[in-house]
Amino acid sequence: MEKIRLNDRTFKVMIPAEQIDLAVAKVAQKLNEDYKNAERPPIFVGVLCGAYVFLADLVRKVDFTNEITFMQVSSYKGTQSTGNVHQKLGIDFDITGRDIILVEDIVETGHSIEYMVEYLQTLNPNSVEVCTLFYKPEKHKYDREIKYVAMEIGNEFIVGYGLDYDQIGRNLRDIYVVDNE
């Protein structure tokens, strides 16, 4: 099994790129069904920095017209969420009456998602739905439904495909997990 070293930790492959691609295609199909008759192009809001790879692959697999923009929040230090969400980049145009698809790399506790959805709702969109590559249901602390989930995982710390460990590893095609062996 392939292992890599990032900073002070060793990681091993947990989910190969081919499996990720199939999961992205499956969630894109669900989005295609739900938004095929949208009156106006839905707006994908990618959450920087982690969701950029997922968002790029996802929008190439949807077959409806759409727009793309980005938000940036942070709540992590190293491998742990601090629980405090700080917004670094927000929406700078009118989204009134628009359908918003908030695209996240991973939903764990839900602190960041709650913060972003509440922020977006103050801008009067028609709807806000969450689409995530990875979902950790055991850690989720909110009642909000995560409508579009590509994969559910356990409580492992993962890196790759846009997810980082202290800002490195985002470029990896596969998903890696800490190797404790």
Find the angle CA(64)-CA(27)-CA(67) to the nearest 5 degrees: 35
What pLDDT, on a 0 to 100 scale, did the predictor assign at position 98?
Answer: 96
3-state helix, strand, coil in the chain (%, to 5): 20, 40, 40
Q: How far apart are CA 93 and CA 137, in angstroms?
A: 33
Instruction: Point out the catalytic residue in the list 39, 67, 104, 108.
Output: 108
What pLDDT, on a 0 to 100 scale, did the predictor assign at position 110?
Answer: 86
pLDDT, average across residues 149-177: 95
Q: Which of 172, 153, 152, 154 is CA-nearest to residue 162?
A: 172
Is 181 marked active-site?
no
Q: Which of 54, 69, 34, 81 is CA-nearest to residue 150?
A: 54
Domain 15-154+161-172 has CATH 3.40.50.2020: yes
Q: How far apart are CA 150 and CA 104, in angstroms?
A: 11
In this predicted structure, the answer to whether residue 79 has a pLDDT above a threshold of 60 is no
Q: How far apart are CA 127 and CA 98, in angstroms?
A: 7
What pLDDT, on a 0 to 100 scale, did the predictor assign at position 89?
Answer: 65
Q: How many CA atoms lie within 13 A of 35 on its CB side?
A: 27
Q: Which residues pair with 127 in a beta bridge?
A: 99
Q: Domain coordinates of the chain in residue numbers? A: 15-154+161-172
Q: What is the pTM assigned to this prediction? A: 0.89
